[in-house]
């Protein structure tokens, strides 16, 4: 296979040099040099416009040249009328006159094309007619030396030579088109040279040589001038084309972006005002034309300049460039911001001729930046300062207190009961409640007091004060203001607030420590019953440290299986038999020894470990109960936190499946706090437990909120009377009346009742004659390890019959059924 020939890189250039709308370039005619990569159509257009420009420049002077030729011809006739053949003179005058008239007519015809570009055919016709006229005039003048020089005397010969030299110089007039100039000048040069050289006079021959040299110089100069004219017109065409392209791009740039172009003269006044500039300035283009740029930057009342305007004006005055300067313009309809960049324009002498630059309206971005800056320091829901700004101000106050010793109090606020409102009425109501709380806190803000929302339902107050007493007074005022009832749309809501107080520099010297110690004081305030305040004390840190150590040991206890279950029997008051056991959690720590549930359960609930502990208790209790006689149930206490999880039902199912325990033998004990959270998961778990046959017992009944209403609203199989009522059952504080009321309601609702904390036979007898279902307490047995359960099942009935040999006599009403 033959190798392919490499592409001819010069081919496009050669094609461009031949472009003339289907004709070849004449020898010696200038061509357009190709600059870069330019299409053939563009090169052809450049050639057409350049040739048109050359023709236009030639014809503009043609009428003056024609009149000159006619005047010279008339002069020649007058000077040589008596010495030369009159027929020749008349013929010369007629031919020159006709050709000059034709040149004037041609120039007149093309006058309409001077402002535009004629067609290629018109340009070609103009070139041909111009060449014909030039040749006619040149040939006519070429005969003049040959006819008039030989018979003339010395004076007339001098006139002939002078006229010939002057005619040759007219080639400069026709110079833009080299071919036309040559068609005129060459015949005149040849005719003059022949006439002088053949006259036989030595002086004339010398003049012929000099005339030839002069003619050569003229023709060379004309050729050079023709090339310069061609290049000048070509550059003008290219610049015009580029200006149009740049103008189009700039118009598209202004139309498609928010940026706009501006230009001023050397005096700083607007020049070439575009519609885009007029639009953003809110004025007409005519009003802006000639307006000083600095006046546009003074849009406010009284000519007030916004920020950044003075800097721009200074750059304009000094003639120095500037970039991305943001100027504030206080328009009447509102403040706007422009971002301006400018560069000075210098004339040929290096003097300032004006400015050109780019501007853009950045109002939207400035507003967005201001919004972002606001959100970085302020809470969008309440408008209060947020945690970031709190840290900055608290740091400043700690530094001030450390330097001067002047105290500043941090009041750490947490809303009591907010979660109940938020969960009961929805997050929209919760947000509105938070805004209302913020509005009640706002009046406490002052020059020395700052209010913050740290997140959720937590707020903070920084207060420069004289001491703890003044901080306490402020805390009481805040509690009173926040705790007043709220109205949210058509709903009434009541919440409280607990406050923890820490002081700088006495308690801490940095924001983190100050907030941590105020949090410890807040925790103590909530432990005291909420709705109050507490000042930080050193022992709180000890308590906190002890709590953290307990939390760490609790995690290890889960990993090491240090928990175990003990079981306390529930005994029927009818016949003394054991009807069930309550599984009670026990923790024997290798380092701490026996740890009571009252110590570790709150920590487990606060850290979330109660879920894992509850899962262990559930599985262990079901496994142990599966070994007991079939009629005995096991009761497992479930934390409200575990009960509200979506995994709770799966834990129940897994325990029953793994142990084989029948669902009816499992009893879940919950407290009234479960009912405060009426979420979908809570209600679904309650009903699902009942549908599976698992019993539900309400523990610590009577010690919570509106306890009796829960019995009618929620599916409960058993209620357990709290030990606090049983302990003083014979007292005068009405506990017996409460127990009788509970038993009466349970009777109506067919709910079983268990009395907790029965320690004496007298307490048991009172409950027995009032038809309580069963009892639980030290009278029968404390909680015992799993290994002792079989013995308890056999021994408890015997002990019961020794205590109560005769069946009870009903004093009030028939006995309750054991369950639903």
CB of 605 within 8 A of CB of 642?
A: no
Q: What is the pLDDT of residue 707?
A: 53
- Specify the fold of 257-369: Beta-Lactamase (3.30.450)
Is 380-536 the same fold as 257-369?
no
Q: Where are the alpha helices (DSSP H) in 257-330?
A: 275-281, 285-288, 293-296, 309-318
Over its C-alpha atoms, the chain yields an Rg (Å, rounded) of 56
Looking at per-residue pLDDT, the higher value among 723 and 118 belongs to 723
Q: How does 652-672 read in b/e, with b if 16+ C-beta sit within 10 Å?
A: beebbeebebeeebbbbbbbb
Q: How confident is the model at residue 671 (pLDDT cuts 50, 70, 90)?
A: confident
Q: Are 647 and 615 in contact (CB under 8 A)?
A: no
pLDDT-based confidence at 436, cuts 50/70/90? very high
Q: What is the mean pLDDT of residues 287-303?
A: 68
| Residues 6+ away with beta carbon under 8 Å from 18 | 24, 25
Tokens 């913050």: give the residue.
452
Tell me if 517 sits within 8 A of 541, measured CB to CB. yes
Average of per-residue pLDDT across 259-287? 76
512, β-bridge pairs: none
pLDDT at 817: 36
**CATH superfamily to which 380-536 belongs:** Reverse transcriptase/Diguanylate cyclase domain (3.30.70.270)
The CA-based dihedral angle spanning residues 463, 466, 470, 475, taken in that order and rounded to the nearest 10 degrees: 20
Instruction: Please give the average per-residue pLDDT across 330-349, as a whole number.
Output: 78
Top mean pLDDT of 137-141, 327-331, 422-426, 663-667 is at 663-667
Quick one: which of 257, 258, 256, 260 has its CA closest to 273?
260
For residues 288, 291, 292 and 297, what is the CA-based torsion angle, rounded to 10 degrees?
A: -40
d(CA 586, CA 424): 35
Q: What pLDDT shows up at residue 732?
A: 60
Alpha carbon distance 690, 711 (integer Å): 15
Pick the closest to residue 91 from 158, 59, 139, 43 (CA basis).
139
- Mean local confidence (pLDDT), 93-102: 89
Task: Classify residue 265 as exposed, middle or buried by CB count within 10 Å of its CB (0-12, 13-18, 19+).
Answer: middle
- Report pLDDT digits (tens) over 745-770: 888 888 899 999 999 999 999 999 98
The pLDDT of 712-727, averaged and rounded, is: 83
> What is the reported pLDDT for 19?
40
For residue 14, the model assigns a pLDDT of 45
Determine phi and psi for 363, rounding to 5 degrees: -60, -45
What pLDDT, on a 0 to 100 scale, did the predictor assign at position 582? 96
Candidate CATH numbers 3.90.1150.10, 3.20.20.450, 3.30.160.20, 2.60.40.1730; the one for domain 549-803: 3.20.20.450
Alpha carbons 379 and 452: distance in angstroms, whole number: 8
Our measurement of the distance from residue 767's CA atom to the centroid of its chain's CA atoms, rounded to an integer in Å, reads: 70
Task: Give the residue carrying structure tokens 């509106």.
Answer: 706
Q: Where residue 41 falls among pLDDT bands split at 50, 70, 90?
A: confident
pLDDT at residue 534, rounded to an integer: 92
> Region 695-716: what's the mean pLDDT?
71
Give 318: exposed, middle or buried? Use CB within 10 Å, 0-12, 13-18, 19+: exposed
- Predicted confidence at residue 503, as pLDDT, reads 93
Is the CB of residue 554 less than 8 Å from the CB of residue 600?
yes
Residue that wins the pLDDT comparison between 471 and 195: 471
Single out the residue of 421, 462, 459 nearest to residue 437, CA to CA: 459
**Domain locations along the chain:** 40-238, 257-369, 380-536, 549-803
More confident residue, 299 or 266: 266
């Amino acid at each position: 296979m033959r190798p392919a020939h490499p592409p001819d890189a010069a081919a496009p250039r050669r094609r461009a040099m031949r472009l003339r709308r289907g004709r070849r370039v004449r020898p010696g005619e200038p061509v357009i040099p190709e600059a870069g990569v330019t299409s053939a159509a563009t090169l052809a257009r450049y050639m057409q416009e350049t040739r048109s420009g050359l023709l236009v420049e030639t014809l503009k002077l043609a009428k003056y040249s024609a009149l000159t030729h006619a005047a010279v011809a008339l002069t020649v006739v007058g000077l040589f009328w008596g010495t030369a053949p009159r027929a020749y003179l008349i013929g010369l005058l007629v031919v020159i006159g006709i050709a000059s008239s034709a040149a004037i007519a041609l120039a007149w015809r093309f006058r309409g094309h001077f402002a535009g570009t004629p067609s290629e055919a018109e340009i070609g016709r103009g070139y041909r007619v111009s060449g014909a006229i030039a040749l006619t005039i040149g040939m006519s003048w070429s005969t003049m030396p040959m006819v008039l020089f030989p018979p003339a005397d010395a004076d007339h010969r001098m006139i002939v030579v002078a006229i010939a030299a002057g005619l040759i110089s007219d080639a400069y007039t026709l110079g833009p088109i080299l071919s036309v100039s040559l068609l005129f000048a060459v015949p005149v040069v040849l005719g003059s040279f022949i006439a002088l050289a053949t006259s036989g006079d030595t002086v004339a021959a010398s003049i012929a040589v000099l005339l030839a040299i002069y003619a050569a110089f003229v023709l060379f100069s004309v050729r050079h001038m023709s090339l310069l004219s061609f290049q000048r017109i070509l550059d003008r065409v290219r610049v015009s084309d580029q200006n149009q392209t740049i103008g189009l791009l700039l118009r598209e740039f202004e139309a498609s972006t928010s940026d706009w172009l501006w230009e001023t003269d050397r005096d700083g006044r607007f020049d070439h005002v575009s519609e885009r500039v007029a639009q953003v300035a809110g004025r007409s283009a005519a009003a802006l034309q000639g307006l000083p740029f600095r006046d546009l930057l003074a849009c406010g009342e009284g000519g007030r300049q916004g920020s950044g305007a003075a800097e721009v004006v200074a750059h304009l005055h000094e003639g120095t460039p500037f970039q991305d300067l943001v100027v504030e313009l206080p328009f009447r309809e509102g403040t706007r911001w422009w971002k301006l960049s400018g560069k000075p324009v210098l004339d040929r002498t290096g003097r300032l001729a004006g400015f050109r630059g780019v501007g853009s309206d950045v109002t939207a971005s400035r507003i967005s930046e201001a919004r972002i800056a606001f959100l970085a320091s302020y809470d969008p829901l309440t408008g209060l300062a947020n945690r970031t700004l709190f840290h900055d101000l608290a740091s400043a106050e700690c530094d001030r207190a450390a330097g001067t010793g002047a105290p500043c109090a941090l009041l750490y606020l947490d809303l009591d009961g907010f979660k109940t409102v938020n969960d009961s009425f929805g997050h929209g109501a919760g947000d509105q409640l938070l805004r209302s709380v913020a509005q009640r806190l706002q009046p406490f803000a002052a020059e020395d007091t700052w209010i913050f929302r740290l997140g959720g339902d937590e707020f903070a107050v920084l207060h420069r004060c004289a001491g703890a007493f003044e901080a306490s007074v402020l805390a009481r005022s805040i509690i009173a203001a926040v705790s007043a009832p709220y109205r949210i749309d058509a709903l009434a809501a009541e919440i409280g607030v607990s406050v923890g107080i820490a002081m700088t520099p006495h308690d801490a010297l940095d924001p983190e420590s100050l907030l941590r110690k105020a949090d410890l004081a807040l925790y103590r305030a909530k432990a005291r019953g909420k709705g109050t305040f507490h000042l930080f004390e050193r022992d709180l840190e000890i308590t906190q440290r002890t709590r953290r150590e307990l939390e760490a040991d609790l995690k290890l206890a889960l990993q090491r299986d240090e928990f175990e279950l003990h079981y306390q029997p529930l005994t029927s008051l009818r016949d003394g038999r054991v009807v069930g056991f309550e599984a009670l959690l026990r923790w024997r720590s290798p380092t701490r020894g026996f740890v009571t549930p009252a110590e570790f359960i709150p920590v487990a609930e606060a850290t979330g470990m109660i879920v894992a502990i509850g899962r262990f208790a559930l599985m262990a209790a079901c496994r142990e109960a599966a070994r007991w006689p079939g009629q005995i149930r096991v009761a497992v206490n479930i934390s409200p936190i575990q009960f509200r999880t979506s995994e709770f039902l799966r834990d129940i199912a897994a325990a029953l499946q793994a142990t084989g325990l029948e669902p009816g033998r499992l009893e879940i004990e919950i407290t009234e706090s479960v009912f405060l959270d009426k979420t979908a998961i809570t209600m679904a778990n309650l009903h699902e437990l009942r549908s599976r046959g698992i019993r539900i017992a309400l523990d610590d009944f009577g010690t919570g909120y509106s306890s009796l209403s829960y019995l009618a609203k929620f599916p409960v199989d058993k209620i357990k009377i709290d030990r606090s009522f049983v302990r003083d059952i014979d007292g005068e504080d009405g506990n017996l009346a409460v127990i009788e009321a509970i038993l009466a309601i349970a009777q109506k609702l067919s709910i079983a009742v268990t009395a907790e904390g029965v320690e004496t036979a007298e307490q048991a007898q009172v409950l027995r004659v009032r038809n309580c279902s069963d009892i639980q307490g030290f009278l029968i047995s404390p909680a015992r390890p799993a290994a002792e359960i079989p013995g308890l099942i056999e021994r408890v009935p015997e002990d019961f019959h020794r205590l109560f040999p005769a069946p009870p006599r009903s004093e009030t009403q028939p006995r309750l059924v054991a369950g639903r």
